[in-house]
Structure 1
Amino acid sequence: MRVNGKVVTPSGVIRQGCVETDGERITAVAEYPSVRDGHWILPGFVDIHTHGGGGHTFTTGDVDEARAAADFHLRHGTTTMLASLVSSPFELMRDATAALSPLVTERVIAGLHFEGPYLSTARCGAQNPAHLRDPSIEELRELIDLGGGAVRMVTLAPERAGALDAVRFLTENRVVAAIGHTDATYDQTCAAVAAGAAVGTHVFNGMRPPHHREPGPVYALLGSDEVICELVADGVHLHDGTLAFAATVTGPDRAALVTDAMSAAGMPDGEYELGGQAVLVADQVARLANPDGTPGPIAGSTLTMDAALRRAVGAGIAVPDASRMASATPARALGLDHQVGSLLAGWRADLVVLDDDLQVVRVMRAGAWVD
């Protein structure tokens, strides 16, 4: 099969190009001079932080819900994703791991991401404070063993007791340790990075704000050559100027676009839930419901990866760089580079075809077009 258009490759854009596939694999990426004004052809998006979408959620561990959420994001160009869960009792974490791990074997999802429960109460955002606690090696060991490779990332706050030991344990077991929902100092954050933490969870959000005399986690994460920084490009979590600044500091090889989407992504405004807490969505912005019914803190997003790419380009990031932030860089964060995230011969044939307005035209996953 051959797909023609403006092909975004790791070395640049082939304006008159084609991607050739055979079965599940890319066989060639080359110039094709007869092409005129074709669509954009980008690698399939890789979202390492999403809680659901299309009215469905990953957070309960329900298999049918997870399949439907993954299918929703696939139709928006996300061909590889982690199922992100929020802070919860250990019993739910264990049950969700057992239930969702088979979906990794089936390649519906690429793995599980536990965003919590080892987070800061002061910076918990939409995480349920009743479930927050110090990291437990025993809990992590059981989840990793139970998942059989399905647990791919855990977000924790490095200032919590036992956090550095947990970071080392996760790293030794080939699970990505991410820093997020944290009130840590700059030095505490740097200590976690030195221990092996490799991702910053939605940098700026759920973190102590940076200050010129106490830079906190934001400067430590943006400034570390060893950390890939998640950025939620929806114009709500980050001002476009902040997005552009952060991407300039890190470069596209250390900035990963993520959705942090909840079930309300792609759905009408209204009332939803996240981790057992009520969420109000108005003008496509999701916020926790305060006890009096008014909107509270941001509760994930209603974002899709194609919309995140458009926002990044609108903020001044070039299409090839935004594509890398949406595909190659998050794939590398998970150790999935050389498999997905770039259009290269021998890699899985995951691609998204976009028109000149960067709207999705077609999506291919593992060599097959998605309906």
Structure 2
Amino acid sequence: MKAEHRVRGLHFRTGRAVELLIGEGRIQSLSELSDQDSGGGLPWLAPGLVDLQVNGCFGLDVNTLPLMPETVADMVRALRREGVTTFCPTVITNSAAAIGQAVQAIALAARRFPEVRAAVAGIHLEGPFISPADGARGAHPAEHVAPPDWDVFRGWQDAAAGLIRIVTLSPEWPGASDFIARCADSGVIVSIGHTAASPEQIRAAVAAGATMSTHLGNGIQPMLPRHPNPIWEQLAADELHGCMIADGFHLPPSVLKVIMRMKGKRAVVVSDAVSFSGMPPGAYSTHIGGSVVLTPEGRLHLAEQPQLLAGSAMLLKEQVAYLTGQGLASLAGAWDLASAHPAELLGLPQAAGLTEGAPADFVLFERKGHALKIVTTYKAGIPDASE
């Protein structure tokens, strides 16, 4: 373990110059510097970003099979350069065998690579227990959508060596409440998403132990009753953490504001990033044969249907910048949505942020207007310079 060392920066919450004393992978102390001691020109300092939903980035994809453990390790390194110190690789709806192969590869990566073991807080299984309805199903393949099955899930969890931490499902299936209760009892977070469930079914899911909403406002039918509807019901459920994609394309600013106000400290920003995140603008072909276009603004859409999104292409730091740029949150507020709040949901010690005794997972970054540029990311006190 590296000997104690000191890191200086502008505290993301106060803007004041501070110094962290780092040792044994933790923050040993935090002290405020005088103007004379700070020396000026310091970068900003904030906790590492925590992303609960990452399908891929920089041409890497956990859903392109067969998934290799090295791909997961490459994702960890790529995300760390973007300020993400903890994340949940997200495996989406597929055949039972394909899901089993993907989660097994992630578990193998965690065994082989210490950096994967340190960064992966668990696997997010998004499907296949989602709504079969068009619209609510989103881009998930209809032929692999299935009702919740505890025995099938346990097989995947065994293949994953217990790493599945979040399951996104729709509670509209018969027997969903029993499945949710079993997941909750086993320590797996159940998230409502890709759903056409009735308010009664959503309330039953919450009573059974669901505690999260997956990309609230997306993965839902385009036309809904004025009220009741699944969005209102999830907003009103105080037990549910509301996850949102704050890229300016998936949700309008007014909806983001409502989710943040309703959920408070249970509001969470997720990237839901796909493999084209971090790639240059242009036309691309997907592994399932479709053509997509990534615009210079970061919008990813189907090539032949520009009105339809093809996933999220903005990582968390860009979403933090979007929230501050739109005046929806302060720097500290936006950063909490992408760091402390998701860490709290997962029960991670990183939820403590920049405090004495907390893990030394933090980033140094520069601001130009509202844009953010990562300078260095620290994981357990070890720096990894941004490229």
The normalised TM-score by structure 1 is: 0.91
User: Please, which of 267, 275, 290 is the counterpart of residue 278 of structure 1?
Assistant: 290
**Stretch moving more, 60-69 or 345-354:** 60-69
Tell me by how many angstroms 1:29 deviates: 1.8
Residue in 1 that maps onto 2:384: 370
Residue in 2 that maps onto 1:75: 81
Q: Which AA in structure 2 matches 1:271?
A: Y
Tell me by how many angstroms 1:324 deviates: 1.0
User: Please, which of 212, 234, 237 is the counterpart of residue 247 of structure 2?
Assistant: 234
**Stretch moving more, 306-315 or 98-107:** 98-107
Quick one: distance in 1 between partners of 2:61 and 2:267? 25
Tell me by how many angstroms 1:296 deviates: 6.6
Tell me by how many angstroms 1:359 deviates: 2.3
Quick one: distance in 2 between partners of 1:88 and 1:232? 23
Q: Which AA in structure 2 matches 1:257?
A: V
Are 1:287 and 2:301 matched, yes or no?
yes
Residue in 1 that maps onto 2:128: 117
Contact 1:54–1:68 (CA under 8 A) maintained in structure 2: no
Are 1:328 and 2:340 matched, yes or no?
yes
Cα RMSD of the aligned pairs, angstroms, is 2.0
Are 1:181 and 2:194 matched, yes or no?
yes
**Stretch moving more, 323-332 or 93-102:** 93-102
Identity %: 31
Instruction: Name the SS of the counterpart of 2:293 in structure 1.
Output: strand
Tell me by how many angstroms 1:132 deviates: 0.6
Change beyond 3 A, Cα 1:99–1:184: same
Residue in 2 that maps onto 1:55: 59
Residue in 2 that maps onto 1:102: 108
Unaligned regions of 5+ residues in structure 2, if any? Answer: none
User: Please, which of 35, 40, 46 is the counterpart of residue 50 of structure 2?
Assistant: 46
Quick one: distance in 1 between partners of 2:44 and 2:223? 37
Unaligned regions of 5+ residues in structure 1, if any? Answer: none
Quick one: distance in 1 between partners of 2:49 and 2:201? 32
User: Please, which of 191, 195, 208 is the counterpart of residue 204 of structure 2?
Assistant: 191
Are 1:305 and 2:319 matched, yes or no?
no
How big is each residue's C-alpha offset from its partner over 1:137-178, in whole Å with a ceiling of 9 and x where there is no partner? 111111223323311111001102222122111111101101
Quick one: distance in 1 between partners of 2:92 and 2:194? 12
User: Please, which of 346, 360, 366 is the counterpart of residue 349 of structure 1?
Assistant: 360
Instruction: Name the SS of the counterpart of 2:53 in structure 1.
Output: coil
Are 1:257 and 2:257 matched, yes or no?
no
How big is each residue's C-alpha offset from its partner over 1:73-117, in whole Å with a ceiling of 9 and x where there is no partner? 111100001100110001111111221113334341222111101
Contact 1:208–1:216 (CA under 8 A) maintained in structure 2: no
**Stretch moving more, 131-140 or 236-245:** 236-245
Change beyond 3 A, Cα 1:341–1:216: farther
Q: Which AA in structure 1 matches 2:201?
A: Q
The normalised TM-score by structure 2 is: 0.88
Contact 1:340–1:348 (CA under 8 A) maintained in structure 2: no
Quick one: distance in 1 between partners of 2:253 and 2:279? 24
Tell me by how many angstroms 1:41 deviates: 0.8
Q: How many residues align?
A: 362
Instruction: Name the SS of the counterpart of 1:298 in structure 2.
Output: coil
User: Please, which of 349, 360, 371 is the counterpart of residue 374 of structure 2?
Assistant: 360
Instruction: Name the SS of the counterpart of 1:19 in structure 2.
Output: strand
Tell me by how many angstroms 1:211 deviates: 5.9
Quick one: distance in 2 between partners of 1:341 and 1:86? 30
Contact 2:104–2:161 (CA under 8 A) maintained in structure 1: no
